[in-house]
Structures are given as C-alpha cells and as structure tokens.
Amino acid sequence: MKISALSLSLALAAAPATILGLSVSAFGPALSGCISTFARPSALFSTKLDQPTVNIQMPSVTRANVDLTSIQPHATETVNLRLPPGVRLTGGDKLRADGLTGKGVRVAVIDGGVDAEHPGFNGQVKQQRWYRDGEWYSDGTEDYHGTHVAGTIHMLAPEAEIYNYCVFETESAENIAVAEAIRLAIDDGCQIINMSIGGPRHNSIARAVSAAHSEKVLMIVSAGNDGDNNTLTYEYSYPAMNSKTVSVAAVYKENDLSTAPWSNTNDAVDYAGIGVDVISFRAKSIGYMKKNGTSMASPHVCGFVAALMTKDGNYSDIITNDESLRTLLDENFVRDIGEKGPNNSTGRGFLTYLNETEYDHMNETEYIDIW
Ligand SMILES: [Ca+2]
Ligand SMILES: [Ca+2]
C-alpha cells in the first residue's frame, strides 16, 4: 500500500480528535505503527475534506504601502522572498541582519519529497534521497508537505544546505524508511534533522534516534496533532516523546502565542513554534501556501537553530550537542507562554531570536501588514 502525506491529512479532516488511530487504520492494519505527517487542514475541526491550500502570489518588490527595507533578499538569493509572519516572529529578519544564515550547516528534512526546483529555495536543496520515482514533490493530492516544511527552514536559514529524505510514497514500511533516513542523514554529515512526522513508539526509529544523538546530530520533531485541548491529559507521539529529540508544539501567532487546541500536550514537549496559518513554499508552482500543524511549528525551530549554528557565527562553537543547544535556547531565546515556567502544552516556551522589545514591536506593528 502506498503511503503518502495527505492520506493522513484526509484522516485528520475526517476526525481530528483521533489522528493517530485513524492514520493507522487509513494505512491498513498491516502497517499499524506507521509514521504520519503532522499537517492539518486549514479549517480546524472541519469534518469535510478541505483543500489545505491558500495560494498566494509571489510577492512583487513594487507592492505599494509595504516597507521592504527589512525584507530584501539575502545577498545570495535570486528570488525576492517575502518573509512570512511566523518566520519574522521567530527573528528571521534579525538573523539575516546578524549574518546568521545557516552557512556551513547541513539540515536533513525527513519528510515527503521537496520541490527542489521551487525558486524560493535558490538551489539550496542540495540532495534528495530514498525515492525518485515520479515527481518528488507530488503525491497526487496537492499536499506538498515536504516543500512547505523545507521552505520554512530555508527562509530562516537561507544559506543552510537542505538534504531531503523522502520517507513517504515508498512501497516499504515507512518506519524502516524513517530509521534508514536518520542513518543516511548521519552519514551525509547533517548536523540537524527536522522530522515533522510521528507515530507510535517504534524500536527501529528509537535506535536510529539514539545513534544520531550519540553522533551529536540534533533532532527537531513535531509534537503531534493528537491534542484534546486539555493540558492535563497526555497525547503520545514518537519520536517527539523520545528525550533525545526536541519536541515542538504549535501555537498561534495571535493572542500571546496561545496553544493550538490540537497540539499534543505532555511532559516531553520542549518548545513551541508558530503552527497555525503558516505560510511557506508551495510545490509545483512559484508561490506559497498556508498550512496548519505541529509539522509547521517544528521547521521554525529547526530553521532558527540552523541559523544559530552558522559556521563561524557567535553560536557555532556553543551548540555542540542536544544538551548544549537546550541550555543556549533556555538562557537566551525562550519567550515563556502561559503560566510562568515550563508546561505541558508549550514546554519552556516560544523560541525567537528577537528580544522582548523587538518581539513586541514586530508583533504589534510589522509582520502582519505585509501579507
Ligand atoms: Ca492533552
Ligand atoms: Ca510557561
């Protein structure tokens, strides 16, 4: 049976409260324990099949009434990207201004296929492995999960090299594909891995995660979309629950970064990223699309960390493994959400390169107008 990202999205649309259970049944009992992606349809809790896409034209540099001074393309970019709100709230503009562009950093995107030809990537998708039968970016249903995820990472770390490992649309069991992809990413010299995927605990993946951890490869993982809007109940998803990975919850841009009701809550959640109405690249065309999910929150954190890891930057020597990363983030780049201190829905809080003043300014005045 063919596995694809949107199979899950359809299952999500049908009954978002039981995502993982449904994803298993959707993939058939023979594949129980399967891994799924964590995108959600745009309309929350919709019971019908929604197209999770809002197509947005590529920005024009001459657009009226828009201050473009802070959103000029990076020197190496051939396309004038307009940085989306989530990227800007995470500090995308400031990272670029400070020269933290991900140069010298290799990021693994274990996901669906990425449309490497999308002009927004500016050629930074350097390698694609595992699957190359038919169109990389298409599963025939316009889900385009991998391209969207990789796009967010790229916009935060425009000079990072993206290595794409396609673990969907394979004919084999995808758990094995994920474990294999993690090992390939280690061998390929990736320093950080984004996994906007998840499922029940699986030994092959746990072993691969341990291998990556001992090789000091950072792993940023979506917390999962199984949330019941109750922080006191736990929803489990792996490899996010694995203590060797960084688990990322989804929050809204609005209302003081309130938690998305479907974002998993548990004591393994480490941080939060923007995961609602996230604008990123749309495969198969020049442009953008909007998606929801912890799938979209994780790449904000991954891209941010990749930027911090910029070779010869201020933080490249500090981030040497998972533990040093957490210490750096906790001491410098966390914006607490809700009750003071860590909690089950957003962990230690929202990660951003902006200081409090800059964040408040961006939040109140800048980011929303340009879209
Ligand atoms: Ca819960
Ligand atoms: Ca808190």
pLDDT for the residue numbered 365 = 75
Q: How far is the CA of 333 from the centre of ligand 2 (A)?
A: 14
Q: How far is the CA of 344 from the centre of ligand 1 (A)?
A: 8
Q: How far is the CA of 108 from the centre of ligand 1 (A)?
A: 29
Q: How far is the CA of 323 from the centre of ligand 2 (A)?
A: 20
Ligand showing the shortest atom-to-Cα distance for residue 350: 2
Ligand showing the shortest atom-to-Cα distance for residue 233: 1
Q: How far is the CA of 232 from the centre of ligand 1 (A)?
A: 6
Determine contact, residues 184/130, Cβ cutoff 8 Å: yes
pLDDT for the residue numbered 12 = 32
Determine contact, residues 321/187, Cβ cutoff 8 Å: no
Q: How far is the CA of 251 from the centre of ligand 2 (A)?
A: 12
The tens digit of pLDDT for each residue in 345-362 reads 999 999 999 999 999 998
Determine contact, residues 133/103, Cβ cutoff 8 Å: no
Ligand showing the shortest atom-to-Cα distance for residue 230: 1
* Average pLDDT over every residue of 325-334: 98
**Could you please report the per-residue DSSP string of 159-174?**
TSEEEEEE-SS-SS-H
Q: How far is the CA of 267 from the centre of ligand 2 (A)?
A: 12
pLDDT for the residue numbered 355 = 96
Domain spans of the chain?
Answer: 5-366
Question: What is the CB-side half-sphere exposure of residue 338 using CA atoms within 13 A?
Answer: 16
The tens digit of pLDDT for each residue in 163-191 reads 999 887 655 567 888 999 999 999 999 99
Ligand showing the shortest atom-to-Cα distance for residue 272: 2
Q: How far is the CA of 251 from the centre of ligand 1 (A)?
A: 14
Ligand showing the shortest atom-to-Cα distance for residue 263: 1
Q: Name residues with Cβ closer than 5 Å to ligand 1, which is an ion.
A: 228, 230, 233, 265
Ligand showing the shortest atom-to-Cα distance for residue 224: 1
DSSP SS3 for 150: helix
Residue 196, pLDDT above cutoff 90? yes
Cα separation, 158 vs 106, in Å, equals: 11
pLDDT for the residue numbered 61 = 25
Beta-bridged to residue 127, according to DSSP, are 163
Ligand showing the shortest atom-to-Cα distance for residue 225: 1
Q: How far is the CA of 312 from the centre of ligand 2 (A)?
A: 33
Cα separation, 329 vs 302, in Å, equals: 12
Q: Are strands 334-335 and 350-351 parallel, antiparallel or unpaired?
A: antiparallel
Q: How far is the CA of 99 from the centre of ligand 1 (A)?
A: 39
Asked if omega into 239 is within 30° of 0 (cis), the reply is yes
Residue 22, pLDDT above cutoff 90? no
Q: How far is the CA of 346 from the centre of ligand 2 (A)?
A: 7
Q: How far is the CA of 58 from the centre of ligand 1 (A)?
A: 38
Ligand showing the shortest atom-to-Cα distance for residue 271: 2
Ligand showing the shortest atom-to-Cα distance for residue 334: 2
Backbone phi, psi, residue 224, to 5°: 115, 155
pLDDT for the residue numbered 315 = 98
pLDDT for the residue numbered 172 = 56
Match domain 5-366 to its CATH number in 3.40.50.200, 2.60.40.10, 1.10.3720.10, 1.10.10.10: 3.40.50.200
The tens digit of pLDDT for each residue in 280-317 reads 998 887 788 889 999 999 999 999 999 999 999 999 99
Q: How far is the CA of 233 from the centre of ligand 2 (A)?
A: 17
Residue 17, pLDDT above cutoff 80? no
Nearest to 369 by CA among 77, 54, 70, 40: 70
* Average pLDDT over every residue of 134-148: 68
The tens digit of pLDDT for each residue in 28-70 reads 223 334 556 666 433 222 222 222 333 333 332 222 222 223 3
Which residue matches tokens 């809007």? 229
Q: How far is the CA of 16 from the centre of ligand 2 (A)?
A: 26
pLDDT for the residue numbered 173 = 60
Ligand showing the shortest atom-to-Cα distance for residue 256: 2
pLDDT for the residue numbered 165 = 92
Q: Are strands 36-37 and 197-198 parallel, antiparallel or unpaired?
A: antiparallel
Ligand showing the shortest atom-to-Cα distance for residue 343: 2
Q: What kind and span of H or E run contains 202?
A: none
Residue 159 CA to chain centroid, in angstroms? 17
Percent over 70 (pLDDT), the chain: 71
Cα separation, 269 vs 222, in Å, equals: 9
pTM: 0.82
pLDDT for the residue numbered 55 = 30
- The pLDDT mean for the chain works out to 79
Q: How far is the CA of 335 from the centre of ligand 2 (A)?
A: 8
Residue 368, pLDDT above cutoff 90? no
Residue 343, pLDDT above cutoff 80? yes
Residue 10, pLDDT above cutoff 90? no
Question: What is the CB-side half-sphere exposure of residue 307 using CA atoms within 13 A?
Answer: 31
Determine contact, residues 291/275, Cβ cutoff 8 Å: no
Determine contact, residues 69/47, Cβ cutoff 8 Å: no
pLDDT for the residue numbered 142 = 60
Percent over 90 (pLDDT), the chain: 59
The tens digit of pLDDT for each residue in 88-132 reads 999 999 999 999 999 999 999 999 889 888 888 999 999 998 755
Q: How far is the CA of 154 from the centre of ligand 2 (A)?
A: 28
